[in-house]
């Protein structure tokens, strides 16, 4: 598995991030700990979680009159 970068994740929807998270978690479960595949999956996992956290902290836009 290749590393999924934060730049790639910035343009994905919330649903895409959720799907990628599931894919990466599956890859982690199949990879041998310490292997290059496992390390790449762990880096991707950190990037996905960082992007999800950044989106949760962003203020929600309000409509007119609120």
pLDDT in tens, 13-28: 999 999 999 999 999 9
Mean pLDDT of 16-44: 97
What pLDDT was estimated at residue 20? 97
Q: Do residues 11 and 50 make contact, with C-beta atoms less than 8 angstroms apart? A: no
Q: What's the rounded mean pLDDT across residues 34-48? A: 97
At residue 47's C-alpha, the angle toward residues 43 and 51, to 5°, is: 170
Distance CA 26, CA 11 (A): 23
**Residue 63 pLDDT > 90:** no
Please give the full DSSP string across 4-41, using - where no structure is assigned.
Answer: PPHHHHHTS-HHHHHHHHHHHHHHHHHSPTTSHHHHHH
pLDDT surpassing 90 at residue 1? no
């Amino acid at each position: 598995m290749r590393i999924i970068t934060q730049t790639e994740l910035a343009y994905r929807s919330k649903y895409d991030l959720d799907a990628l998270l599931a894919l990466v978690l599956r890859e982690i479960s199949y990879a041998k700990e310490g292997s290059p595949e496992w390390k790449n999956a762990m880096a991707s996992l950190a990037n996905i979680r960082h992007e999800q956290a950044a989106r949760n902290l962003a203020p929600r836009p309000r409509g007119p009159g609120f």
